[in-house]
């Protein structure tokens, strides 16, 4: 039975719901929040005209959705081997992969063209770099071949604040690079904490994430190192007069707690710690929130 026939016989979600699921709405939402932070700082703490925000959000959402669909398309074989991802639309063969690829490429092409026209060319270029980094460098090349894939994937995932900043300024200033640096470092303990939980599933699927390639102990050590790096990196907004002392104090408290939790985890016998993963999300929300609140 070919894939088209399977897609027609497997009961599941409506076609619209399938495409929405493939676009990973959670990732799209987080991308827009990160971009909004870049917009805020790029416009010196003042929100620009609603039309600029709307076009930036629309085009970035389309680019992110297209990239996520492309990721789902390319990873459908390994998704079937992992319990966590086996119910994804393409892994469960609810829809033909032949339908998804052209839609994903269309969304990416449309989003970049619209962004260059309605926002500015630089924001479109930065978005294209992010799409290429996630879809090609991370998904198609490094994820299946090297344990360093998360490091490079983290770079692509840290691009949204730069897109927002470029949208309102037409350039990439110090604040854009600082937000980028914070997200690059933050994504490492965040991703590694999750990878530890699903280490055995990644191993079965042949994906050489750090916990599979280097082991649990080495992964715990890396989480601690990245949490240590977050402390000085998160102080950069204060050093460069982007945010004030309230932000600095908040970043030290949040970062200190992150480091303490990761250190305690490193010396424990636990193979994974989802509380640490959950805190990584809380950390970023509170850190960026305090940065916006205390912007200079």
Domain extents in the chain: 1-172, 173-296
**pLDDT exceeds cutoff 70 at 11:** no
> Are residues 90 and 77 in contact, defined by beta-carbon separation less than 8 angstroms?
no
Q: What is the homologous superfamily of the domain 1-172 according to CATH?
A: UbiA prenyltransferase (1.10.357.140)
Contacts with 64 (C-beta within 8 Å, 6 or more apart), sequence order = 23, 24, 27, 28, 31
How far apart CA 226 and CA 224 sit, in angstroms, is 5
**pLDDT exceeds cutoff 50 at 6:** no
How far apart CA 17 and CA 9 sit, in angstroms, is 17
Contacts with 217 (C-beta within 8 Å, 6 or more apart), sequence order = none
pLDDT of residue 7: 42
Distances (CA, A) of 151 to 139, 143, 147, 187: 12, 10, 9, 8
With 0-12 / 13-18 / 19 or more C-beta atoms within 10 angstroms meaning exposed / middle / buried, residue 125 is middle
Q: Would you say the C-alpha torsion 230, 235, 236, 237 has a positive or negative sign?
A: positive
pLDDT digits (tens, 9 = 90+) for 42-68: 887 777 888 999 999 999 999 999 999
Residue 193 pLDDT grade (very low, low, confident, very high; cuts 50, 70, 90)? very high
Report the pLDDT averaged over residues 274-280: 95
Radius of gyration of the chain (CA): 20
Report the pLDDT averaged over residues 259-275: 96
Share above pLDDT 90 across residues of the chain, in percent, rounded to a whole number? 60
How far apart CA 270 and CA 110 sit, in angstroms, is 46
Residue 40 pLDDT grade (very low, low, confident, very high; cuts 50, 70, 90)? confident
> Are residues 294 and 244 in contact, defined by beta-carbon separation less than 8 angstroms?
yes
pLDDT of residue 254: 97
How far apart CA 39 and CA 31 sit, in angstroms, is 12
Structure tokens at 224: 């601690």
pLDDT digits (tens, 9 = 90+) for 198-217: 999 999 989 999 999 999 99
pLDDT of residue 12: 54
């Amino acid at each position: 039975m070919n894939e088209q026939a399977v897609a027609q016989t497997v009961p599941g979600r409506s076609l619209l719901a399938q495409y929405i699921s493939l676009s990973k709405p959670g990732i799209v939402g987080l991308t827009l929040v990160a971009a909004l932070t870049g917009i805020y700082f790029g416009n010196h703490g003042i929100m620009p005209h609603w039309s600029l925000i709307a076009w930036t959000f629309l085009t970035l959402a389309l680019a992110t959705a297209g990239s996520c669909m492309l990721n789902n398309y390319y990873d459908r074989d390994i998704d079937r081997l992992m319990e966590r991802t086996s119910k994804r639309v393409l892994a469960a063969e609810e829809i033909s992969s032949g339908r998804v690829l052209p839609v994903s490429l269309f969304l990416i092409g449309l989003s970049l063209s619209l962004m260059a026209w309605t926002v500015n060319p630089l924001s479109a270029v930065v978005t294209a770099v992010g799409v290429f980094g996630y879809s090609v460098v991370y998904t198609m090349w490094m994820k299946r071949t090297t344990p360093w894939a998360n490091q490079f994937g983290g770079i692509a995932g840290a691009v949204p604040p730069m897109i927002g900043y470029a949208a309102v300024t037409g350039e990439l200033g110090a604040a854009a690079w600082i937000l980028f640096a914070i997200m690059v470092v933050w994504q490492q303990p965040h991703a590694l904490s999750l990878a530890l939980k699903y280490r055995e599933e990644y191993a079965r699927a042949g994906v050489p994430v750090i916990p599979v390639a280097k082991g649990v102990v080495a992964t715990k050590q890396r989480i601690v190192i990245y949490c240590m790096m977050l402390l000085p990196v998160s102080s950069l907004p204060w050093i460069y007069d982007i945010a004030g002392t309230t932000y600095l104090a908040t970043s030290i408290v949040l970062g200190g707690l992150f480091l303490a939790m990761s250190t305690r985890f490193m010396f424990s016998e636990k193979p994974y710690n989802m509380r640490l993963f959950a805190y990584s999300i809380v950390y970023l929300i509170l850190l960026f929130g305090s940065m916006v609140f205390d912007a200079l």
